[in-house]
A and B are shown apart, each in its own frame.
Chain A
């Protein structure tokens, strides 16, 4: 195991024991709540509650030492009402089927909310990538794809990257599917390297989507941008990029944190310098610039106007939610506010822009890459940015409309809007027999 790999692995979202719930239950309870509020019919409720298809395969791999190892592979395809399935491939030693189910459902709602023509899916390979050589991992990924070849592909089910499913893994998937269908299937996966049909703007997509949503939210709530203080948790691809973008926009970034700890300066941090330091030293830890070093667990309670947690799940939990000082929380990470904390914050009148909307830039970019791979025509940066902005704005507008229609939180409104779109599509397609 190399140092670099260990660090990446260490940065994985770790769920604090407090507030821990089965992710499937959390997803389903959000869905149930939305279904109840919007008055979804019993028939449609029953259809949407189950995954369309759950594929489970054995993935035998001959290891370098001669031993044969048989890994478990899964693909959960939740709902195809709006189009082909799309979703990540998780590669983890302690993969839970329940979590895959939750993520597949989550992807369905997310695609519907962001207005991209897909249903949700999630795949998994239960293995520890650090114990395998690159070629052993390649064998596993290729065998996994080949075993379910009839159910995946550009108009069936599209793979998106995940923490361990990087450009390399996506390229293997693309190559395996292309070889089997005997034609280049660039649109079977997203998150490809640029040379294989990857899109411009992929790296910054989530951060740019977050920035777009922040701008829309400030305009809507009448908060002037100037002098607004922002704390960003996470200094990597999402948090770091967002901090840089907001800094350029004239916001005062008072706090920035990564896994090793946080920096805080109520007059504003020199963000470009801090990020540059982190790029060189691998951590924000001993940045010599003007800032107080703060404990990473206390970070979310520091004073600010906007808090953007972009790092770990349940960063705001029932233990610290009462001490959060932000006026608004924009969820950059996946589930950074626990359901219990969500209720506490709601009582305190703190607005939350939910993850499913706020960090939707990633899935929009995946969609853009799929389109570009289908047409064979790549878009330049400006075109990607402009279109991403439009998708985020349209999603925001519809969430606002639903939120005032049902007089509910933005989180609930996001789910209602998504469930409504999926059930309408299901209803129009009817039941095939």
Chain B
């Protein structure tokens, strides 16, 4: 059964449904933990789902009614945490699944949060800035009764960013009549944002890679890295890892991939991308296709773009000995077990890309006290949390003789389950 993701059997059978890997991870972990049926039932479905209709006055004078959701999967470990996405593809099933995903992600790095997710069905490209602002404010008010620094703290997600978070913070603060920066994370620096947040996910990926190398005793200098994706996660990770001594031999963006067996000069690559809007054409590298990139000879593969990149179709041809999942669900469940059987180590997404939510947590802490940390302090605390989580996942994997992915689920589910037993059932 799935972890709160009420997907149909047809969907579950689909390898390309990214929630399958999560659902499968949950089930395996629950079996190993010997979770009783009652607790499985509790964790299977979201605690609260809110659907709202939002009439918005459009610029042309007409009124359009938009649909939005906020799903709170589980708040046993603390207030809910999870992004808000604006997309035409938003649907309740997906929001549910993503909310559960957040519960496990927060738990694996031991943040005092439960999981939630929100979404508004809209196409942001077709909305003016004013319409987007009115929609964001109306959505905030519509779900306000279940929001709050100690209830549910949203964050940016697909098609939402600093500006959206600033509007939410302003709307909430005006309604409760006091400045409440801790209501959302991912805010601009001037409005209670955290230093180091923009590169947090990429930095977390690098920390996870560093830890994984320690398992095998390899050095960054001897490690050839392929990075899929050159944005907030992949680009930042590649840059930081280059600085750390790794040999980044290939990186890709949506237009294509570049490759240089002796290692790319990452600062020059990023400067090229900034100036040209794309990676391809970078002088000191050969161009390769997206599918060929993943199969190049390398030691470490970092899929940091989208889901379903490593599947049953290409898993056999992946040459990396180590995979660190920067994106959510880049490896299908079938591919995961194929790779595991071949001895390939996969640092799973809920651990590897948890740097973002960890610094979100830091932002919330800083907002609550009103005092803001230097970037060095943010980075060193991020490193500490990632290292601790990594070590605990490894320990759990050794204990149960399972993959790191299963171990991550065991660890996070066990944490939620033990809080459940301590708190008991209210009323």
Contacts and interface: CB of A to CB of B under 8 A. Distances in A.
A80 interface: yes
A150 interface: yes
A182 interface: no
A155 B192 CA distance: 13
B162 interface: yes
Given A84-B179, A156-B178, A374-B370, A432 B190 contact: no
Contact of A84 (B137, B166, B178, B369): B178
Tell which of B137, B177, B370 has the most Cβ of chain A within 10 Å.
Answer: B370
B414 interface: no
A429 B166 contact: yes
A428 B369 contact: no
Contact of A156 (B163, B169, B171, B177): B177
A376 B379 CA distance: 25
Contacts of B179: 80, 83-84, 155-156
B370 A370 contact: yes
Contacts of B370: 117, 367, 370-371, 374
B193 to A, nearest CB: 10
Contacts of B133: 430
A205 B36 CA distance: 60
Q: How large is the interface on B (under 10, 10 to 19, 20 to 34, 35 or more residues)?
A: 20 to 34
Interface in A235-271: none
Contacts of B371: 371, 375
Given A80-B179, A83-B179, A374-B370, A430 B170 contact: yes
Given A375-B369, A430-B133, A432-B137, A150 B191 contact: no
Contacts of B174: 432
Interface in B152-177: 162-163, 166-167, 169-171, 174, 177
B252 interface: no
Interface in A403-433: 421, 424-425, 428-430, 432-433
B55 interface: no
A153 interface: yes
Contacts of A80: 179
A429 B177 contact: no
B170 A432 contact: yes
Interface residues of A, number: 24
Contacts of B137: 432-433
A425 B162 CA distance: 12
Interface string B173-190: 010011111000000101
Given A370-B370, A371-B369, A428 B178 contact: no
Interface in A185-214: none
A430 B166 contact: yes
Contacts of B163: 428
Nearest to B192: A117
Contacts of A430: 133, 166-167, 170
Given A374-B370, A430-B166, A432-B171, A155 B190 contact: no
Nearest to A85: B179
B369 A82 contact: no
Contacts of A432: 137, 170-171, 174
A117 B177 CA distance: 17
B126 to A, nearest CB: 20
B178 A153 contact: yes
A341 to B, nearest CB: 34
Nearest to B165: A428
B188 A428 contact: yes
Contacts of B191: 82, 425, 428-429
Interface in A138-196: 150, 153-156
A374 B191 CA distance: 18
A150 B177 CA distance: 8
Nearest to A424: B190
B178 A429 contact: no
A67 B370 CA distance: 45
Nearest to B180: A155
Nearest to B162: A428
Nearest to B372: A117
Contact of B190 (A82, A156, A374, A375): A82
13 contacts: A80-B179, A84-B178, A117-B192, A154-B178, A155-B179, A155-B180, A156-B178, A421-B190, A428-B163, A429-B170, A429-B191, A430-B133, A432-B174
Given A155-B180, A156-B178, 10 more contacts: A84-B179, A117-B192, A150-B177, A424-B190, A428-B162, A428-B166, A429-B167, A432-B170, A432-B171, A432-B174
Please list the 5 inter-chain residue pairs (A to B) with the smallest Cβ-Cβ separation, ordered nearest first. A155-B178, A429-B170, A428-B166, A371-B371, A375-B369
